[in-house]
Amino acid sequence: MKTLFTHPFRRQYHWGYLAVGCTLLVSYALWLGSMWYYQDWYENPWKYMAKVGSHSATLLMCWAFILATRFRPVEVLFGGLDKVYKSHRYIGEIAFFLIFLHPLGLALMHASEGGSFWAYLWFSGDWVRNTGIIALAGFALLVVLSIYVKIRYHRWKRTHDFFGLLLLLIIVHGIMAKGEIVAYPLLGLWFALWCGLGLAAYVYIRLLYRWLGPQYDHVVDEVRQVGDAVVELYLKPQGRAMVHEPGQFVYISLDANAVSREPHPFSISSAPDSPRLRLSIKQLGDWTQSVHAIQAGEQARVWGPYGHFSETIVQGSCRQRLIFLGGGIGITPFLSMLASERMRKAPYACWMIYSVADAQRAVYSEELRTACAQRDDWHCIQHLSDEEGFINADYLQQHLGSLNDCTFYICGPQVMMDSVSNLLLDAGVPIEHIISEDFDIR
Ligand SMILES: Cc1cc2nc3c(=O)[nH]c(=O)nc-3n(C[C@H](O)[C@H](O)[C@H](O)COP(=O)(O)OP(=O)(O)OC[C@H]3O[C@@H](n4cnc5c(N)ncnc54)[C@H](O)[C@@H]3O)c2cc1C
């Protein structure tokens, strides 16, 4: 299981964390600055630990809500919506660990003043403390369900609804405690702003996004089965058409008999200038298993486009050679990228490595070969892992030679993305030239 500890920050390369870090520093500065201004220092040093925990955790929790909104500025800050969701998870996880400093610090303070450490952590006649205990227990339960227990996606999403209530409870607890957030005007204003933003973000994504989010109506034009387990949905826009970059993705919700309306994310596998939007869907779970039964003429709504996968190509900030590495259904963003006019005109040589278990699953081989035939300096390589083993450093060196002039784009199963990213980092490829798109945003 991926956690904060097995997924180090070195893989992330975003300004977002800097922004989060800066807001934490501002919080500490306002808090300590106010204490200095009013000369109101704590007598018991354990209280500092308790307050660092509560201030940091509350702020990070508000950030976690903001990160769930799918707002464009947030996407830009964190380098794509898939990264935003990963960061949302890490930041929530850090908030969860930090919040324990609060009861721990207060209980230690209580114990150092002659009280009982354990009794402080249990219910009493003190409702400030009781709301804190309830909030902590709720937080622990929700985090365990969200991160450490593998439950079905729609149940997982439902448990997320309760985080809004949790933030409310934390706010109530903070107000009842009448601590420095209530006492110091600047600090109070700062936290009121963040808690307001956090709550507004929650209301937006849970209630308003379906109406206010960037959305486009489509009608299903064609449903095509390709191979055993991939279904292509072709959608025709109704009204204004969505403008997107190659390699971006959308959330789709269908008004169809075969599947529920639950929105699911899929990369756009058609060219940006194509009159029809194509989604290539691997049938692997309860919702995707039924997509083959969707009928032409049924209505679809897409939200988006999201993602920054091809941003560096569009901006022209790559090295001379682009290496596209698509594993299984992770090939979809590359189909769109290779079919785009922009990519055709870009000053880059390109190596497309399509990695699948066996030839039967290589359903997009022909399309990729045709796309790569558009330019002499585009090459298509098919990698069959059942025969050739997983992609390793030797394999890349053998097919690509030196990696010093390459920018890598990777999309596929998490194990593949992790192992290839690591071997590229070990081979000295700078992290900014290893760009990945993550299909698992939980
Ligand atoms: C940015 C992005 C692009 C993607 N592009 C493609 C693509 O081009 N082709 C493709 O086949 N798949 C793609 N996926 C994966 C696809 O969204 C999931 O496979 C699909 O939603 C699984 O649904 P299910 O109910 O059938 O499977 P389940 O077995 O219920 O779920 C499998 C996993 O998929 C994820 N998932 C399930 N439902 C949702 C949902 N409503 N929203 C978000 N995640 C969910 C969860 O992590 C879950 O553990 C993409 C995912 C992301 C995040």
**CB-based contacts of 413-418 (< 8 A; 24+ apart in sequence):** 413/327, 413/328, 413/330, 414/2, 414/438, 414/440, 416/325, 416/327, 416/330, 416/355, 416/390, 416/391, 417/327
The average confidence (pLDDT) of the chain is: 93
Number of H helices, E strands in the chain: 18, 11
Token pair belonging to 102: 């609060």
Q: To which H or E segment does residue 252 belong?
A: strand 249-255
For ligand 1, whether the C-beta of 340 sits within 6 Å is: no
Quote the distance between the C-alpha of residue 144 and its chain's center: 18
* Domains present along the chain, CATH in parentheses: 9-211 (1.20.120.1770), 215-306 (2.40.30.10), 315-437 (3.40.50.80)
Q: Quick check: 312 pLDDT over 90?
A: no
Looking at ligand 1, which residue's alpha carbon is closest to its atom 46?
Answer: 153
Q: What is the pLDDT of residues 18-74, one digit of tens each?
A: 999 999 999 999 999 999 999 999 999 999 999 999 999 999 999 999 999 999 999
pTM for the full predicted model: 0.91
Q: What is the pLDDT of residues 374-411, one digit of tens each?
A: 999 999 999 999 999 999 999 999 999 999 999 999 99
Distance between Cα 440 and ligand 1 center (Å)? 7
- Reported as a pLDDT band with limits 50, 70 and 90, residue 328 is very high
For ligand 1, whether the C-beta of 105 sits within 6 Å is: no
Ligand 1 test: best mutation among 261, 266, 337, 442, most atoms within 8 Å of CB?
A: 266
Distance between Cα 339 and ligand 1 center (Å)? 23
Mean pLDDT of 104-108: 97
Phi, psi of 151 (to 5 degrees): -110, 165
Cis before 305? omega within 30: yes
Q: What is the pLDDT of residues 276-294, one digit of tens each?
A: 999 999 999 889 999 999 9
Distance between Cα 266 and ligand 1 center (Å)? 7
Left (φ > 0), alpha (ψ -120 to 50) or beta: where does 296 sit?
A: beta
Distance between Cα 184 and ligand 1 center (Å)? 46
pLDDT of residue 441: 78
Looking at ligand 1, which residue's alpha carbon is closest to its atom 9?
Answer: 281
Distance between Cα 346 and ligand 1 center (Å)? 31
Q: How far is 280 from 212, CA to CA, in rounded Å?
A: 26
Q: What is the pLDDT of residues 77-101, one digit of tens each?
A: 888 898 899 999 999 999 999 999 9
Residues above pLDDT 70, as percent of the chain: 97
Q: Which ligand 1 atom lies nearest to the CA of residue 266?
A: 5
Q: How far is 104 from 351, CA to CA, in rounded Å?
A: 54
From the list 342, 323, 345, the residue with the least C-alpha distance to 411 is: 323
pLDDT of residue 150: 82
Where b means 16+ CB within 10 Å and e means fewer, 79-116 reads bbbbbbbbbbbbbbbbbbebbebbbbbbbbbbeeeeee
For ligand 1, whether the C-beta of 287 sits within 6 Å is: yes
Q: To which H or E segment does residue 169 belong?
A: helix 153-177
Q: Quick check: 7 pLDDT over 60?
A: no
Q: To which H or E segment does residue 316 belong?
A: none
Mean pLDDT of 235-250: 95
Question: What would the DSSP string read from start to end of 384-417?
Answer: EHHHH-S--HHHHHHHH---TTEEEEEES-HHHH
The two beta strands, 277-282 and 264-267, are unpaired
pLDDT of residue 13: 53
> Residue ranges of the alpha helices (H) in 289-413?
311-315, 332-338, 341-345, 365-372, 385-388, 393-400
Residues above pLDDT 90, as percent of the chain: 85
Q: What is the pLDDT of residues 335-352, one digit of tens each?
A: 999 999 989 999 999 999
63 burial level (CB within 10 Å; 0-12, 13-18, 19+): buried
Whole-Å CA distances, 269 to 10, 340, 361, 385 = 30, 10, 17, 23
Token pair belonging to 96: 């969860």
The two beta strands, 230-237 and 321-327, are unpaired
For ligand 1, whether the C-beta of 82 sits within 6 Å is: yes
